[in-house]
Amino acid sequence: MTHKIIATLWRYSPLLLLAAVWEGVTQAHLVSQYALPTLSGVLTSMWTLAIDPDGLVYHTSRSIMRGAAGLGAAVVLGTTAGVLMAWYRPVRLLLKPFIQMFYPLPKSALIPLTIMWIGLGDPSKITLIFIGSLLPIVVSSFNATRGVDSVLIWSARGMGATDRELLWEVVVPAALPEIMNGYRVALALCFILVVAGELIIANNGIGFLINFLGEGGDYKGMFAGVITISLVGFLADRGYIMLMRRILIWRE
């Protein structure tokens, strides 16, 4: 057990090295305070903002809520659409052209559109995240379902499974690893869209906060915000991986 802890510490030690360099270089005034505040200053600011009722916690939670709402809807709708597309030819014929048309569109191009259509508040952000995350989920669910080993399907059919049972009891579980990988990609995209949307136009959220503090000259706070959302994004990804391992525990 201790061996593992030491190994992890060693693996992440370059970060400690960088942190030390950051602090050292800024304290020695080798870099302007206006370009890069000291690490200790940033961390102090992070603490101040954290306990501030109107600060980090409030804004970060707003961002997380928006992201979760948009992503959640995309997961439900996207997975259903992708799986049904793979299973039923009429659905595939109908939806495939749309998927292929919208796939190459960079999702951030939708920001002005959602602003115009829905306004500045939460609904437009959530819609943006929903539409943006939808496509990767549909595509990976589709590919995953189509890619299920025929041998599994033949065996199940041979045991008398109906088409519906076959789909939900055999094919979807078999496709689940790849589907869940698609969710991971969508999760990262979701974070990008949340922050991007808030940077450009919003009046709350972590992106807004970073921008606001930066424009106001509070660079310590700005960096604190950046570190916070980076950490959240990182933990979300790691957390999701652990969840994936749990759910897919049957995988070798």
Partner 1 sequence: MATVAPRAASALGQRRESRPALARAFDTFAPYVIIGVLLIAWEVAAQEKLVIPFLLPALSVVLERIGTDLTSGALAYNIGITLYRTVVGFALAAMIGVSIGVLMTRVVSVRWFFDPLVSIGLPMPKVALLPVFMLWFGLFDASKILMVAFSACFQIIITTWHGTQGVDKELIWSARSLGAKDREVLWEIVMPAAMPQILTGLQIAMPVCLIVVLVTEMQMGGRGLGDAMLVAARYAQTPGVFAGIIEIGTVGFCIIKGMEYLRKRLLVWHQETMREETTV
Q: What are the residues whose beta carbons fall under 8 Å from the beta carbon of 44, sequence distance 6 or more?
A: 220
Q: Is 44 in the site for partner 1 (CB under 8 A)?
A: no
In the complex, minimum distance from the CB of residue 136 to partner 1, in angstroms, rounded to a whole number? 10
Only segment of 40-48, 69-77, 215-223, 243-251 that touches partner 1 (CB under 8 A): 215-223
* Binding residue for partner 1, selected from 47, 80, 96, 216, defined by CB under 8 A: 96
Q: Is 183 in the site for partner 1 (CB under 8 A)?
A: no
**Of 18, 29, 27, 39, whose CA–CA distance to 219 is shortest?**
39
* Binding residue for partner 1, selected from 57, 102, 173, 181, defined by CB under 8 A: 102
Angle at 232 between CA 230 and CA 236, to 5 degrees: 120
Q: What are the residues whose beta carbons fall under 8 Å from the beta carbon of 99, sequence distance 6 or more?
A: 85, 135, 138, 139, 142
Tell me how many residues contact partner 1 (CB under 8 A).
Answer: 76
* Binding residue for partner 1, selected from 169, 234, 247, 248, defined by CB under 8 A: 234
Q: Is 203 in the site for partner 1 (CB under 8 A)?
A: no
Q: Is 244 in the site for partner 1 (CB under 8 A)?
A: no
In the complex, minimum distance from the CB of residue 112 to partner 1, in angstroms, rounded to a whole number? 4
Q: Is 35 in the site for partner 1 (CB under 8 A)?
A: yes
Task: Provide the residue count of the chain.
Answer: 252
Site for partner 1 in 132-171 (CB under 8 A): 139, 142-143, 145-148, 150, 153-154, 157, 163, 166, 171
The secondary structure of residue 108, as a DSSP letter, is G
Only segment of 19-27, 45-53, 71-79, 222-230 that touches partner 1 (CB under 8 A): 222-230
Q: Are 225 and 90 in contact (CB under 8 A)?
A: no
Q: Is 88 in the site for partner 1 (CB under 8 A)?
A: yes
In the complex, minimum distance from the CB of residue 54 to partner 1, in angstroms, rounded to a whole number? 19
Q: Are 44 and 104 in contact (CB under 8 A)?
A: no
C-beta closer to partner 1: residue 18 or 50: 18
**Of 167, 87, 69, 170, whose CA–CA distance to 127 is shortest?**
69
Using CA atoms, how far apart are residues 151 and 145, in angstroms rounded to an integer? 14
**Of 77, 100, 84, whose CA–CA distance to 144 is shortest?**
84
Q: Is 110 in the site for partner 1 (CB under 8 A)?
A: yes
The secondary structure of residue 105, as a DSSP letter, is S
Q: Are 22 and 37 in contact (CB under 8 A)?
A: no
Q: Is 41 in the site for partner 1 (CB under 8 A)?
A: no
In the complex, minimum distance from the CB of residue 166 to partner 1, in angstroms, rounded to a whole number? 8
Site for partner 1 in 45-84 (CB under 8 A): none
Q: Are 136 and 102 in contact (CB under 8 A)?
A: no
